[in-house]
Amino acid sequence: MGGTMQLAAEGVAVGPAPALALVPEVFSGLAAAEAPWRALEAAPGVVMTPYQRFDWVAACARTLPAGARPCPVLLRDAAGRPLALLPLFVHREAGIRVARVIGGRHANFHMPLFAGPEAAALPAEAYAGALLQAGARAGIDVIHLPDQPRLWNGVPNPLARGSASPSDAYGLALEADPEAVLKRCLSGDARRKLRQKEKWLVAAHGPVTHRVAADDAEGEAILSAYLAQKAVRFATSGIRDPFADPAARDFLKAAHRTGALELHALRTEGGRILATFVGAVDPARFSGMLTSFDPDPSLARFSPGDLLLQALIRDQASRGRKALDLGVGEARYKASVCDETIHLVDAVIPVSLRGRAYAAAAAAGARLKRRIKRDPRLWALVGRVRRAMARPA
């Protein structure tokens, strides 16, 4: 394996034998990797996002495209100690064998699991060199790793080298006192308005409660409401519904059964679900994946989505979680409550010559998409085109 490789578009040259060599182990599937994966996940001080929990990934693997094959990569030090795991899968795209982290658009972050801050502090060149070896061994042309957080819980991510992702993510630090969190993230005027809207909502529709799905039946009800509410939103916005595929719906149900997903709803006494919030979770964090609200125009003035978000923040803080994030992408409700911007990077590791061509195209595409999303006029134009295409002929 000759020559050098570049990490993303940043031009970081990585030789075939870095000073600190990590030893890659490529697994033939998720089951083969489960034991070391769960051990790494349970290690004290592990650095990971909820989207790399084994249970979340195993459920999400149901959504992989036809012909894709999981090939998780475990990186060890010279003494054989596990340092990091990347839950990859390989799929042929236009003749190029592309490896990605299992999760795709369902996951906000595609970071590896690191055994601890010390493992994450190893040189980026060491990780890139080991992944280059793993890619060559597994017959991969390029490893595409979008949405790499530059920092995760204050720990730098060595794979966050490349072009800035088209969008960033937004988070909120939690503390033991829920009301202190709400006072920090919402102005007094905003809290007063929400209290008034809740009074109006109760007057119009009766008492409402915040519910966390406690069993399969309640989970099914919340997921059904989410899918129905979001289908209307997707149709009117001209966006393809990612959950039209039954496999994607099965993924949500399976992830909830294993505890990898938490399902929240704002519900009337009569059982009508006015808003939903779905998140990937671990002991310390709730990471928002999906949210919806009842499209009935008569409910809009009560802001049921905002009321549920307030209840969600209060719930997560009271249960001892340390952080909450609202995922990737710009939105008014995120800016109104979050106090942290999670800066993201798209990393690309080319393994073959064809992979180098893919890397150049991927970096250019990410830059173009970021430019469009950061220009209000261009992004508004995209929205108008989508809505026009969604209208019946």
Q: How high is the pLDDT of residue 355?
A: 83
Average pLDDT over residues 183-206: 95
Mean pLDDT of 231-257: 90
pLDDT at 11 over 70: no
Asked if the model's pLDDT at residue 269 lies above 60, the reply is yes
Round to whole Å and give the CA distance between 72 and 25.
8
The predicted structure's pLDDT at residue 385: 60
Q: pLDDT of 349-393, one tens digit each?
A: 999 989 888 877 777 777 777 777 765 675 566 566 655 655 554
pLDDT of the residue at 247: 94
Residue among 201, 145, 135, 123 nearest 8 (CA): 145
* DSSP codes of every residue in 86-125: E-EEEEEETTEEEEEETTGGG-S--PPEESSHHHHTS-HH
Q: Averaged over 132-140, what is the pLDDT?
A: 95
List the beta bridge partners of residue 70: 89
Q: What is the mean pLDDT of residues 226-234?
A: 92
Going by the DSSP 8-state scheme, the letter that residue 17 receives in this structure is S
Within 13 Å, how many C-alpha atoms sit on residue 187's CB side? Answer: 5
Strand intervals (E) in 269-393: 273-282, 285-293, 323-328, 340-342, 344-350
Give me the chain's average pLDDT, please.
89
* pLDDT tens digits, 14-59: 444 444 789 999 999 999 999 999 999 999 999 999 999 999 999 9
Structure token digits, residue 18: 């870095």
CA–CA dist 301, 203 (Å, integer):
13
> Which pLDDT does position 309 carry in this prediction?
96
Nearest by Cα to 261 from 308, 234, 296, 226: 226
Q: What is the pLDDT of residue 160?
A: 95
